[in-house]
Structure 1
Amino acid sequence: MRNPTGRQLRFGAELRKLRERAGLSSTEAGQLLGIKQAQVSNMEAGRVGVSPERVRTIACHYDCSDKALIEALSEMTSERTRGWWEQHRELLPDALPDLAELEHHAQSLRDATTARIPGLLQTREYALEIFRQAVTELSPPDIEHRLSFRIKRQAVLFREEDPTPYEAIVHEAALRMKVGGPTAARQQLKHLLDMSERDHITLRAITFEAGAYPGSGQSIHYAHGPVPQLDTVYLDQAHGLAFLDAEAQLHKYRTLFDRIDAVSLSPEETRSLIGNLMREL
């Protein structure tokens, strides 16, 4: 099997969590399932495929009675095709195709950003300037490849059937930053207004007047899975993307989003703010 994708790794990690909650070692689990310990380890590492029937058998032996979680895990095993992002895996860090895969399968997405417009809402010109300013200088072909990849990721918001529900909370600092110059900045703000008119997209701003608030020092991205246990937080950090899925981490960032919501403008107030900023350019 090829190297497991982020989704396959997550599936294996969830099997491991079920086993550990049952208080079983991998050797004991193998004995219950009638397989070798190495096969249990390979399943939990995402290196081998698992059928929906095997998932239900595992859940039974692990005394898991959460039917919604079991069905969600079974559904993950039935999706064996690899998406468009796989063709980019040799040219990009693995975390980026894994991110596109995560966004593709998410039930809904939430972003909270301070210094930049979220990637899913960036115009081509805005994203181009961001890549040009990368600390590790990118070659023109690399920039073009990353730009193409970012635009393709945005397809989750434009699907004709069931576009992904999306909420973005953007700080006024990011809205005011003239990335790419005044013309590009105005185009970016106009794009935000246009996207905010879509029924499945909610755009909210945080003004400078809000002061400090929990999570203000980082950009937070949250992908909702079919059940809360399969949610994922991903943080865009200087050294790359970090994916978090531990129960305590998910609880922390759900709480952070609730508190960020409390200091955000309404969608209507946000559109008014953006309109005013456009007139200042």
Structure 2
Amino acid sequence: MGYMYHHFWDMYLYVAGLSIQSRWMLDPMSSPPSARKQRIGIELRKMRDAADVTAAEAAAVLGLARTKITLIEQGSYAVTPKRVMALAHRYEEADSAYVSALAAMAGDRTKGWWEEYRGAVPPGFLEIAEFEYNAKGMCSYQICHPPGPMQTEQYSRAVFREAEPPLTPRIVETRIEHRMRRCETLMKDGAQPYTAIVHEAALRMRFGGRAVTRDQLDRMLELSHLPHVTLRVVTFESGGFVGSGQAIIYARGDVPRLDTVQYDSVDGPIYLHSAEHLEKYRAIVDKMTNRSLSIEGSRDFIARVKKEI
């Protein structure tokens, strides 16, 4: 029965021309592909397009139906490292380090801690946790509030209570628990390098009131002394900020071509992977770093803001 059900949905969605994202929203018996699977598919599609190879030609390399190539590129059909290598060879991809990194991603079957929250938090929460877990280093640029992994429990609670429509207390507490797990993962000893570029506005926003905000600033100062954490502040006097003003995270992959940009939207996280986007956002991060205070200057500034609150 389950096979026939999903076969029907596969055929329906294929004929209707709907994406895999549409499938998991419409089909209650399916689950969305992980961010990692989606990225593998995106990279394979980039290679195929660059090589001007049809889906049918790619399918012939693997001995699969043409529709399976579409599903692989959408991230909804698992692909082995061997098949990644075979497709890359057919596409004449010359960057061996890139291909090896992509194959390693395909071979990773790790079930992360975020899977415990599947069904309890929105899919975007799972995606961001997986995204952070697999990054080889991150730079977060925040304007309205401190980065999630640097927030205190009380500050996070105040942020989630501002949601529209309002969240139930149970949902708020589940999301806080998930966020604190992210904090533990990214702020523990031995974690990957983490840089936070925070605008002065984020320091002065009083989510939860004066006491909660002061505690939040103390937490940021404490974390700034961790060996893998760099905290810098962009003040109002810096001359403005680059880009459209949304919060962004630039995450390093195993190789530069697997870097990722993530930014927030009302409906969940958005991920950018194209070479043009990566170059653009690297430049944005560099400009904001240059406009920010020094590490010691940033700590002194945060301490002054705390006294003023």
TM-score (structure 1 length as normaliser): 0.95
- SS of aligned partner of 2:264: strand
Q: Which moved more, 1:41-50 or 1:242-251?
A: 41-50
Do the aligned partners of 1:107 and 1:223 also contact (CA within 8 Å) in 2? yes
Percentage of matched positions with identical amino acids = 39
Of 71, 80, 99, the match for 1:42: 71
Distance 1:271 1:152 in 2: 25
Equivalent residue letter for 2:301: L
Task: Give the aligned partner of residue 6 of structure 2.
Answer: none
Deviations 1:138-167 (A, max 9, x none): 00001001111111111232344x302100
Distance 2:61 2:78 in 1: 19
Distance 2:149 2:285 in 1: 18
Equivalent residue letter for 1:237: S
Task: Give the aligned partner of residue 156 of structure 2.
Answer: 127
- For 1:49-128, list aligned pairs within 5 A: 49-128=78-157
Task: Give the aligned partner of residue 9 of structure 2.
Answer: none
Equivalent residue letter for 2:103: S
Distance 2:241 2:203 in 1: 18
Q: How many residues align?
A: 280
Do the aligned partners of 2:61 and 2:86 also contact (CA within 8 Å) in 1? no
Q: Which consecutive unaligned segments of at least 5 residues does structure 2 have?
A: 1-29
Equivalent residue letter for 1:169: I
Task: Give the aligned partner of residue 240 of structure 1.
Answer: 268
Distance 2:238 2:160 in 1: 30
- Supply the RMSD in Å over aligned alpha carbons: 1.5
Of 196, 207, 216, the match for 2:235: 207
Distance 1:197 1:95 in 2: 30
Task: Give the aligned partner of residue 20 of structure 2.
Answer: none
Deviations 1:223-244 (A, max 9, x none): 1111122111111123322111
Distance 2:245 2:90 in 1: 44
Shift of 1:2: 5.1
Task: Give the aligned partner of residue 174 of structure 1.
Answer: 202
Q: Which consecutive unaligned segments of at least 5 residues does structure 1 have?
A: none
Task: Give the aligned partner of residue 195 of structure 1.
Answer: 223
* Structure with more relative contact order (C-alpha pairs < 8 Å, separation 6 or more): 1
Equivalent residue letter for 1:114: I
Deviations 1:165-197 (A, max 9, x none): 100011111112222111111111111111000
Task: Give the aligned partner of residue 255 of structure 1.
Answer: 283
Task: Give the aligned partner of residue 151 of structure 1.
Answer: 180
Do the aligned partners of 1:123 and 1:191 also contact (CA within 8 Å) in 2? yes
Q: Which moved more, 1:175-184 or 1:187-196?
A: 175-184
Equivalent residue letter for 1:22: A
